[in-house]
């Protein structure tokens, strides 16, 4: 089987191709010009192109489906060489920037939500990816290629700033080595140059891995899927809580090096009559005391077969107001991609999986 060229850092590639400056040229073709064949790489000698073509692939993913949502998000299903599938969501946010001279600048920001595993071992009750079980880890190259494919498909310029969230299928900290390698490849100035502070690892809360990641001091952002404020409810929603309880997560986060301009994001999936009470908001406030935190309240997206319900707008606002009035940064996330079921794993289920 051919090796995936995106699996290699620039330095690793420089040890394979001689002379090593060729690695930078190849990177330019891959990450700036979105080349899909070695033949296109005009400034490489013919012999090297043939050698690369023999041993490597540039296209480890195949685009299977693209679904557009009315809110502008776009969801992709990609096929892997072994018949498995992963999904990626491109979100387009429109921001307004208010300047001192009174002018308002509109800007568009891309955020790409990528997958780190085929399936997931964590087994969250609200997640359709979990229902399909765990298949395998993705390699760094398979992770990197997701963004490359999306950029090429949307004609996004190579140097365009964008954000990456490791929030698609899988638990990124359960595939830590490949994810960390992908972070480094994404941030290489000769490649896509996506600064680590524009990358967010979202975890179900594997405390020991949060500590390990923190020690690497990559400058990356952290998002924690908290969803509940007491262990009993969290165990029900996220069985992983039996291994890593809420306090262990909070302790790990307190030791995590946070970029001075950033906050740790706590994701809180609000489920009607399950975790949307003011009592829960009070406990959340107490729990996050002393952490530079931001809470992201997410409307639960109901799907077929679940008994969980979407909260009302007024309960959601009441929950938010309680927190913000007491000084906690708290946003309500727009239900982007609701009409295409953009909660993780749902598209794949609709497509009938892809397991071979």
With CB under 6 A as the contact rule, which of the stretches 36-44, 65-73, 85-93, 165-173 interacts with ligand SF4? Answer: 165-173
CB nearer to ligand SF4: pick between 4 and 124 = 124
CA distance 260 to 129: 34
Q: Between 187 and 202, whose beta carbon lies closer to ligand SF4?
A: 202
Q: Do residues 163 and 185 lie in contact, with contact meaning Cβ atoms separated by under 8 Å?
A: no
Q: What stretches of the chain adopt beta strand conformation (E)?
A: 3-4, 56-57, 62-68, 74-79, 85-98, 104-113, 117-119, 134-137, 162-166, 199-203, 221-225, 264-270, 293-299, 329-333
SS3 letters across 218-264 = CCCEEEEECCCCCHHHHHHHCHHHHCCCHHHHHHHHHCCCCCCCCCE
Is residue 342 a contact residue for ligand SF4 (CB under 6 A)?
Answer: no
Which residue among 44, 118, 169, 210 contacts ligand SF4 (CB under 6 A)? 169
Phi/psi at 149 (nearest 5 deg)? -65, -40
- Reduced to 3 states (helix: H, G, I; strand: E, B; else coil), residue 14 is helix
Residues 6+ apart with CB under 8 A from 286: none
Question: Closest approach of Cβ 306 to ligand SF4, in Å?
Answer: 13
Q: Which residues are catalytic?
A: 87, 344
> To the nearest whole angstrom, how small is the minimum distance from the Cβ of residue 138 to ligand SF4?
13
170 binds ligand SF4 (CB under 6 A): yes
Tokens standing for residue 217: 């001091």
Site size for ligand SF4, by CB under 6 A? 12
What binding mask, one character per residue, do residues 207-246 give for ligand SF4 by CB under 6 A, x or -? ----------------------------------------
Give the binding range for ligand SF4 (CB under 6 A) out of 52-60, 76-84, 168-176, 299-307. Answer: 168-176
Does 179 engage in binding with ligand SF4 (CB under 6 A)?
no
User: What's the closest the beta carbon of residue 120 comes to ligand SF4, in angstroms?
Assistant: 3
> Which of 204, 207, 241, 275 contacts ligand SF4 by CB under 6 A?
204
Instruction: With CA atoms as reference, report the closest residue to 69 among 302, 348, 338, 350.
Output: 338
Binding residues among 114-143 for ligand SF4 as defined by CB under 6 A: 120, 122-124, 127, 129-130
- Residue 71 Cβ, how far from ligand SF4 at the closest point, in Å? 21
Nearer to ligand SF4, 171 or 276 (CB): 171
Where b means 16+ CB within 10 Å and e means fewer, 102-134 reads eeeeeeeebbbbbbbbbbbebbbbbbbbbebeb
* 47 burial via Cβ count (<10 Å: 0-12, 13-18, 19+): exposed
Q: Nearer to ligand SF4 by C-beta: 23 or 270?
A: 270
Identify which of residues 6 and 115 has a Cβ nearer to ligand SF4 in the complex. 115
Residue 156's closest CA among 185, 192, 183? 192
- Position among 182, 344, 346, 348 found at the interface with ligand SF4 (CB under 6 A): 344
Closest approach, Cβ 267 to ligand SF4, in A, equals 10
Considering beta carbons, is residue 35 or 271 the nearer one to ligand SF4? 271
Report the b/e string of 225-249 with b at 16+ CB within 10 A. Answer: bbbbbeeebbbebbebbeebbbebb
Number of other CB atoms surrounding residue 337 within 10 Å: 25
> Could you tell me the two tokens for 122?
């964590």
**Closer to ligand SF4 by Cβ: residue 44 or 270:** 270
- Give the nearest distance from C-beta 196 to ligand SF4 in angstroms: 22
Residues that bind ligand SF4 (CB under 6 A): 120, 122-124, 127, 129-130, 169-171, 204, 344
């Amino acid at each position: 089987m051919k090796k995936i060229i995106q699996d290699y850092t620039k330095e690793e590639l420089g040890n394979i191709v001689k002379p090593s400056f060729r690695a930078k040229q190849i990177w330019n073709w891959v990450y700036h010009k979105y080349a899909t064949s070695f033949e296109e790489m005009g400034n490489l000698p013919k012999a090297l192109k043939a050698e690369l073509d023999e041993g490597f692939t540039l296209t480890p993913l195949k685009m299977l489906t693209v679904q557009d949502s009315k809110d502008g998000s776009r969801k992709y299903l990609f096929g892997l060489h072994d018949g498995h599938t992963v999904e990626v969501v491109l979100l387009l946010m429109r921001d307004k920037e208010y300047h001192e001279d009174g002018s308002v600048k509109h800007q568009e920001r891309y955020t790409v939500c990528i997958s780190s595993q085929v399936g997931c071992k964590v087994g969250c009750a609200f997640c359709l990816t979990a229902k399909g079980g765990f298949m395998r880890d993705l390699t760094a190259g398979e992770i990197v290629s997701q963004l490359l494919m999306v950029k090429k498909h949307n004609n996004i310029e190579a140097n365009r700033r964008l954000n990456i969230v490791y929030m698609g299928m899988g638990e990124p900290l359960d595939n830590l080595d490949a994810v960390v390698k992908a972070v480094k490849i994404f941030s290489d100035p000769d490649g896509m140059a996506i600064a680590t502070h524009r990358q967010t690892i979202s975890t179900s809360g594997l405390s020991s891995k949060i500590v390990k990641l923190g020690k690497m001091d990559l400058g990356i952002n952290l998002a924690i899927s908290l969803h509940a404020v007491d262990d009993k409810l969290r165990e029900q929603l996220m069985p992983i809580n039996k291994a890593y309880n809420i306090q262990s997560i909070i302790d790990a986060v307190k030791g995590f090096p946070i970029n001075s301009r950033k906050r740790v994001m706590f994701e809180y999936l609000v489920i009607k009559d399950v975790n949307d009470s003011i009592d829960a908001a009070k406990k959340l406030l107490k729990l996050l005391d002393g952490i530079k935190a931001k809470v992201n309240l997410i409307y639960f997206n109901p799907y077929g077969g679940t008994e969980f319900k979407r909260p009302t707008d007024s309960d959601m606002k009441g929950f938010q107001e309680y927190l913000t009035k007491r000084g906690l940064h708290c946003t309500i996330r727009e239900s982007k991609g609701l009409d295409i079921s953009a909660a993780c794993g749902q598209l794949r289920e609709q497509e009938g999986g892809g397991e071979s």
